[in-house]
Structure 1
Amino acid sequence: MDRTSPDNMNFNHSSDFHFLPMRGMRNPHLQTLLPRLFRRHITLQPHWQRLDLPDGDFVDLAWSEDPALAQHKPRAVLFHGLEGSFHSPYAHGLLQAWKARGWLGVVMHFRGCSGEPNRMERIYHSGETEDAAFFLRWLHTCWGKVPTAAVGVSLGGNMLACLMGKQGEDCLLDAGVIVSAPLMLEPCSAKLEQGFSRVYQRYLLNQLKLNARRKLHAWPGTLPIDLERLNALKKLRDFDDVITARAHGFVNADDYYRRASAMPLLPQIRKPLLIIHAKDDPFMTDEVIPDLQQLPANIEYQLTEHGGHVGFVGGSLLKPQMWLEQRIPQWLSHYLDTAL
């Protein structure tokens, strides 16, 4: 059987929860962009907190409510995508859905992604797990042991898979969900240089450059590039080659893509994990689809025909349904609600 077939899934069919795209809106680019239309207004007012890191830097946390008043509740952690934040449609949408279920949700912003430049040369990347590992330990130490799960979206999904693979049985999470993750970074980078996907590359690169400019103004000398060279970058690969790789000890972009891709680590994951991926994701190629024969039984893989990149919009124009806000809580409830 073709491993790219949606029927070939390491999946518990008794809990199957199919995605049906909005009628007339199954185009992958429409699916990718629709959440920005339907989640324009943020209804949740987050509780912000700054977490100082061991190296003198910081990450900002956006909680669904004051954790001091909800530390007994099951916890759901969100790791966002490239240049994402609480303001990303999927982020505040999921936090609102988790709060409605009685869970305590939190977005851990990667360094420099909360609106304020971080202080150190080190930033974040697809395989950077140290900040997330520190954060999860801090959660356990400061707020006590309760059922805890994490969701990683796009870049954050690849990072979460790396973290869970490296930690194996020692992972502090009870379960995880990975959505639209570039599990093989090099082919995904190449895909963004082709066809309409170049529109996404241009948008992401502009966001990265804007963030880098802020950092260079706030903390001169903390990036291995000057403004003139930064402004001249034309591709995400160029940014990864001269900034991401050099700031984190990789030889170049190719070395970074090889060493930070999560696909080789999937067989080492020991905690329950759901991977959600749309076959028509305009950020990806079929190379991100794992060989299901190599996955351990604790990993469930759901491949949908449609959904775009972190889209998955169903329902109708009058009553849109954000499928991820239904599917993710439905799957995680087995691990987070059992102790209630």
Structure 2
Amino acid sequence: MPVISENYIPPGIFKSGDASTIYAATLRKVEIPIFERERIELSDGDFLDIDWSYPANRNSKNLVILLHGLAGKADRPYMKGMARAFNLKNWTAVGMNFRGCSDELNRLYKSYHAGASDDLAELMTHILSLKEYNKIALIGFSLGGNMLMKYLGENRSLPDEVIGAVGVSVPCDLSGSLGAINRMRNFVYSKRFELNLKQHLYERAEKFPDHLNKKDISACSSLRDIDDLYTSRAHGYKNAADYYKKTSALVYLKGIRKPTLMINAENDSFLSQKCYPIEIAENSEFLHLEIPKYGGHVGFVTRAPLYYHEKRAVEFIESL
């Protein structure tokens, strides 16, 4: 598909990628009915907590599944904003809290990572078992966007009910994106992620002292150190480099067979150059790529309650 032209011009200060990234993540307020939580039991004995948000017509046959980013969960403003955007168009929304990302530590030593598409597949199996939805769309943010693109591009049979997907601020080149976020200009962001993940690992070390200890966690001084210590080994990879290589969505994009839109802002300081797969999109029948000049990382602020990426996601899905 041709790379999509866009006309997003944010107001004032939000032409700054940092301003839009920080405001959208921490200061934006989204009013939405309280999610209704459901727990799904997984085939390996673990669980997923999912949060449902309904339109005025609770009998809607349309469903959108939302996947959050690193150190996120279903009640983040970007998740609630997208749920609200689809609720207003008579779509039910369900936010997937990855393992260990709801209010309770998951049961197993492993948790979630950028390539955990099997968990998404188990959620899809559960959704289909309800026999309530004729159309299903998927929206992934940041790390969740990488997971989504990998899921779509793998050699797996996707349900007919899945009509399309949207990825927002997708770090589809994980190694390159880690290099980008580790640049000095991103120090505050990377340190915030590091501290959040360390706290998560301290809790996990108390539950699994034979696998993890606080001394090794404290010695980690970067996100890559955390991926070397825990993320890679806990999920069956040799090390961080092996994990990045095998789970980056970039190698799966050519396999996508459902209409898919990727929105990656040009001024997103978390993304590497390979996260703008122009050539792949141009040669794909299904992958649409939009590269707005502005937007930062999951920013895309507007003066209206509906942000630019939410408007584009709804437009794209409803056009299918």
Deviations 1:47-95 (A, max 9, x none): 11111111111110111039xx835420000011011112211001111
Aligned position for 1:333: 318
Instruction: Provide the C-alpha distance between the structure 2 equivalents of 1:312 and 1:273, rounded to a whole number of angstroms.
Output: 19
Indicate the residue corresponding to 1:292 in structure 2: 279
- Could you say if the C-alpha distance between residues 144 and 70 of structure 1 is closer, same or farther in structure 2, counting changes exceeding 3 Å? same
Partner of 1:279: 266
1:101 is matched with: 89
- Which deviates more, 17-26 or 165-174? 165-174
Q: Is contact 1:169-1:270 (8 Å) kept?
A: no
Give the match for residue 237 of structure 2: 250
Per the alignment, residue 184 of structure 1 pairs with 173
TM-score (norm 1): 0.87
Shift of 1:37: 5.2
The answer to whether the aligner puts 1:241 opposite 2:228 as a matched pair is: yes
Q: Measure, in 1, the Cα distance between the counterparts of 2:267 and 2:132.
A: 41
Q: Where does residue 110 of structure 1 map in the other structure? A: 98
In structure 1, give the amino acid aligned to 2:310.
Answer: E
8 Å contact 2:67–2:144 — kept in the other structure? Answer: yes
Three-state SS of the structure 1 residue aligned to 2:291 is strand
- 2:52 maps to 1:40: no
Name the SS for the 1:161 alignment partner.
helix
Q: Partner letter of residue 124 of structure 1?
A: Y
Q: Deviations over 1:132-160 (max 9, x none)?
A: 00111110112344100000110000000
SS of alignment partner, residue 108 of structure 1: strand
Q: Gaps spanning 5+ residues in structure 1: where?
A: 1-8, 336-340
1:149 paired with 2:128, answer: no
Q: Secondary structure at the match of 2:15?
A: coil
Mapped contact 1:168–1:270 kept (Cα < 8 A): no
| CA drift at 1:115 | 2.0
Shift of the 36–128 alpha-carbon distance from structure 1 to 2, 3 Å rule, reads closer
Structure 2 match to 1:3:
none
1:63 aligns with 2:63: no
**Segment of structure 1 superposing worse, 171-180 or 157-166:** 171-180
SS in 1 for 2:296: coil
Unpaired stretches in structure 2, ≥5 consecutive residues = none
> 8 Å contact 1:164–1:171 — kept in the other structure?
no
Q: Which aligned segments of 4 or more residues in structure 1 are displaced greater than 4 angstroms?
A: none
CA distance in 2, matches of 1:103, 1:267: 29
Please say which of residues 107-116 and 36-45 is displaced more in the overlay.
36-45
The count of corresponding residues between Structure 1 and Structure 2 is 318
Q: Distance between the aligned counterparts of 2:295 and 2:49, measured in 1? A: 30
Looking at structure 2, the residues matched to 43 and 142 of structure 1 have their Cα atoms a distance apart, in angstroms, of 24
Aligned: 1:123 with 2:111: yes
Matched with 1:5 is none
Look up the SS of the partner of 1:297 in the other structure.
coil
CA deviations on 1:161-183 (whole Å, 9 max, x unpaired) are 10000146635521000111111
The 1:228/1:247 distance shift into structure 2, 3 A limit, reads same
